[in-house]
Amino acid sequence: MLALLGLIVLAAMVWYIFIGHNWNIAASNIDESIGQMDGYTVILYEGQTLPSTERNRISSNQPLLDDENRGLQKPDEEPEQNEPVSMHEAASYYRQMGATVFMLKPQAPYAYDPPIVLNKNGFFIGIYYADGSTPRLEAQLRTADLKMRGVDFVVLLVNDARMLTNTLSSVDIIICTSDEELSSHGEYHDGTFCVDSPIIGQVQTIIISPSNVLTSKTITWL
């Protein structure tokens, strides 16, 4: 009897992970597509990294194209047409659909050290900054303090990729300020939802559904 009960519980967990969770994410996408996001919370921040081609050029010390050659491209290369997206434009987009919007500034990480609590429409987010030199115990104490203050989600802002492999189970979201080649839809590491930085001119979104399902995407145009 106990073995049967265990199998039922295991089956339920598998159903949620592979079907139920994905269905909740799909439902969030549907709500956004029809413009109905009442009860949703959206966290926004602007990209800080250079495009890979620019990073490669800098790392290899390649010179910039001069004005005479700047416009030359191979026939099969298409120039970028999208205008940069601002965080304020993205915020207006989501507010028009009824979502609660938080705008973060990872480019100024020390604004979150010591930890702060943000409140919008009764939804509380606790956020703090830590780098590779931050003692694990100190980070744990900061997280515990934010939890005791009753926040709905704890957000950890980091600049060191090693923090992604040493996450704290009580942290809900980690935002890495560099490009760590994570999926633009976010990834779970040890139970923590992790996202990184898109390129300059793009905006990253973290969407929290009314049932606290997390998903993410990069906005390249509106």
Mean pLDDT of the 58-67 span? 49
Q: Flag whether pLDDT at 6 surpasses 60.
A: no
Q: How confident is the model at residue 179 (pLDDT cuts 50, 70, 90)?
A: confident
- Taking the whole predicted model, whether its pTM rises above 0.85 is answered as no
Three-state DSSP state, 44 = strand
Question: Cα separation of 164 and 175, whole Å?
Answer: 9
CA-based nearest residue to 197, from 81, 107, 89, 62: 107
Pick 62 or 39 by higher pLDDT. 39
Q: What is the pLDDT of residue 164?
A: 62
* Residue among 170, 125, 172, 173 nearest 152 (CA): 125
Between CA 204 and CA 45 the distance in angstroms is 6
Instruction: Name all domains of the chain by residue range, CATH numbers in brackets.
Output: 37-52+83-219 (3.60.21.10)
79-93, 149-163, 171-185, 203-217: which range is least confident on average? 79-93
Report the pLDDT averaged over residues 58-74. 47
Amino acid at 163: M
